Structure formats: structure tokens, C-alpha cells
């Protein structure tokens, strides 16, 4: 089996293991091209983002692993960068300043509480319910509209290489039903965001984390989004969003089965430092 994964967290953010541990496990699992994407530093205290002071060590560890395992696996450096409307150009800035190989742009925060603390939409149910009530007066549709508005703004103004977990907010629907994913208004939001994605040149990730963490019944994006990605001809890559090395190809095989069933023929991979589309089947990429 031959796989790639461009969405990995290690001890420098909210993962726990060394970069080298992920690399070694990747080699065991047949990963031939692996990218690290710690959560970029942000301006407020939280448990998951990288500390700015750790960036040199992070980059050095990635570089060292790339050299040590040269010929066995390709290693790339990146960040998963949070999009906030008030911080224009932050994705481009990180890429330029750190000479990253690629970027992942993700929306994890929508609006903010009264004290200015950004509201985390993919955290615990309690936090989600608090923001829903205090910031949005329990109007879930307004939340979804704003979430996808941020996604569209990011794609239009500060487009990353990879669009992180397009519809991750629907993981909250796994806790309790906040909205009907079959409602036309919701489907239109996903469609509108992907229409913009199609024009932006972004690669959409198919993120398997919700599945192996059992926080979702589908990948991010789910089948609705996947069908639209196919329809609009948006290139995709397969990522596990691993926070532990054992998650490195979590749910890849089942997801590859689904992707083949939906008519996808190629996955985007980084090979020799350039993005290219490669055919795949349920046993992996034809590297």
C-alpha cells in the first residue's frame, strides 16, 4: 500500500509525539510523502496552537527527518493556519516567512464571545452550545452562514494550498441534531463555497479524522461535498489529520472505496516538491 498524508500534528501543537515517530510509523504504513501541519500560532491563549518560539525547532526537526529518511519517504513542512477575517493575508505571511512547502487553511473559529475570545466551533459540545446561544441567539442557520462566509473569504482573499476539512462544523450534529443536512439552505451554502473553491485553484482535502475518532459518520467533507467536488472538478488529496502516529492512515482504505465509488480517479500528491495528480485504487496511490 502506498499513501500520502499532508495533515499531521505532532508534539509542537496538540499532538504528543516526536516528528520522527510519525515518520517512522508512516514508513511502516506505506506513506511515501508526508507533510507536517502544526496549528499556526495565534494571538490568544489556547491548548492546541503552536508557540511562536517553537517554530525554529519545529522546522529543524522536519528538515532533519527529511534528510535522515531520504529515499524512504518525502517529508514536507507546512502549518494548518486559522482563518480570521480580521487578520488579512495571514496564510500568505506564514508561507512566505517560513518558506513553507504548502499551507492548509482552516476555519476553527467563528466570531467571538463578548470578552473577545474567539468561539471554537469544533470543540466540546458545551462550548458549541455556549457560543450558539450567546453569540448567535440559538440561530444555527446564522452560524452556518457565517462559517461558510469565512471559508469563502479565505478562498477569495488568502487562498491556501489545501482547504482544510470543509464542513467540520457538522461534527456537532453528531452530538445532537442542530440542523438538517438535507435542508436546501444548508446544501446551498456548501455548494456556494465549493463554487468559489473551484475558481480558486485550491486542493480540497478529504479528511478522515471524524471517522476514526467516531465524532462523525462521514469524512469532512461528507458525501454531499464530495459529490460537488467531483462535479466541479476540484482536485482532492487524502489526509488523516493525525494527532498520533497510529492515526496516520486512519480510515484511508474505506475512504478510498467511497471515493472510487463516487467516480474519483486521482489524488493530488506532492512528489519531488511539486503537486501532481496520481491515479489511486483502494490499496493506495499508483506512485
Question: What does the alpha-carbon distance between residue 223 and residue 220 come to, in Å, rounded to a whole number?
Answer: 9
Closest contact distance (angstroms) between CB of 60 and Zn ion is 21
If the CB atoms of residues 9 and 146 are measured against Zn ion, the closer one turns out to be 9
Contact 87, 80 (CB under 8 A): no
Contact 65, 23 (CB under 8 A): yes
Residue with cell string 517529508: 75
Integer CA distances (angstroms), 173 to 20, 110, 141, in order? 35, 17, 13
Closest contact distance (angstroms) between CB of 124 and Zn ion is 15
If the CB atoms of residues 241 and 251 are measured against Zn ion, the closer one turns out to be 241
Residue with cell string 471559508: 151
Closest contact distance (angstroms) between CB of 12 and Zn ion is 13
Closest contact distance (angstroms) between CB of 137 and Zn ion is 27
Closest contact distance (angstroms) between CB of 227 and Zn ion is 23
* Residue numbers at the binding site for Zn ion (CB under 5 A): 80, 106, 241
If the CB atoms of residues 33 and 38 are measured against Zn ion, the closer one turns out to be 38
Give the cell for residue 68: 535522515
Number of alpha carbons in the 13 Å side-chain half-sphere of residue 169 = 32
Going by their DSSP bridges, the two strands 104-106 and 109-112 should be labelled as unpaired
Amino acid at each position: 500500500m502506498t499513501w500520502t498524508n499532508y495533515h499531521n500534528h505532532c508534539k509542537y501543537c496538540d499532538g504528543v509525539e516526536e516528528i520522527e515517530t510519525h515518520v517512522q510509523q508512516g514508513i511502516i504504513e506505506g506513506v511515501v510523502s508526508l507533510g507536517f501541519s502544526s496549528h499556526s500560532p495565534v494571538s490568544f491563549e489556547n491548548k492546541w496552537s503552536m508557540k511562536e518560539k517553537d517554530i525554529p525547532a519545529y522546522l529543524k526537526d522536519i528538515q532533519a527527518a527529511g534528510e535522515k529518511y531520504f529515499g524512504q519517504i518525502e517529508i514536507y513542512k507546512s502549518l494548518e493556519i486559522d482563518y480570521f477575517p480580521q487578520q488579512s493575508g495571514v496564510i500568505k505571511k506564514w508561507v512566505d516567512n517560513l518558506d513553507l512547502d504548502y499551507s492548509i487553511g482552516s476555519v476553527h473559529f467563528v466570531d467571538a464571545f463578548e470578552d473577545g475570545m474567539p468561539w471554537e466551533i469544533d470543540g466540546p459540545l458545551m462550548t458549541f452550545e455556549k457560543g450558539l446561544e450567546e453569540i448567535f441567539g440559538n440561530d444555527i442557520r446564522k452560524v452556518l452562514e457565517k462559517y461558510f462566509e469565512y471559508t469563502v473569504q479565505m478562498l477569495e482573499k488568502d487562498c491556501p494550498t489545501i482547504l482544510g476539512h470543509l464542513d467540520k462544523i457538522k461534527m456537532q450534529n453528531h452530538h445532537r441534531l442542530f440542523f438538517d443536512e438535507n435542508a436546501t439552505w444548508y446544501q446551498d451554502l456548501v455548494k456556494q463555497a465549493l463554487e468559489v473553491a473551484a475558481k480558486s485553484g485550491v486542493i480540497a482535502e478529504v479528511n478522515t479524522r471524524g471517522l476514526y475518532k467516531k465524532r462523525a459518520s462521514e469524512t469532512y467533507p461528507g458525501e454531499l461535498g464530495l459529490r460537488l467536488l467531483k462535479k466541479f472538478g476540484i482536485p482532492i488529496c487524502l489526509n488523516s489529520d493525525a494527532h498520533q502516529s497510529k492515526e496516520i492512515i486512519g480510515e484511508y482504505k474505506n475512504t478510498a472505496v467511497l471515493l472510487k465509488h463516487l467516480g474519483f480517479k486521482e489524488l493530488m500528491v506532492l512528489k519531488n516538491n511539486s503537486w501532481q495528480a496520481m491515479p489511486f485504487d483502494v490499496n493506495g496511490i499508483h506512485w
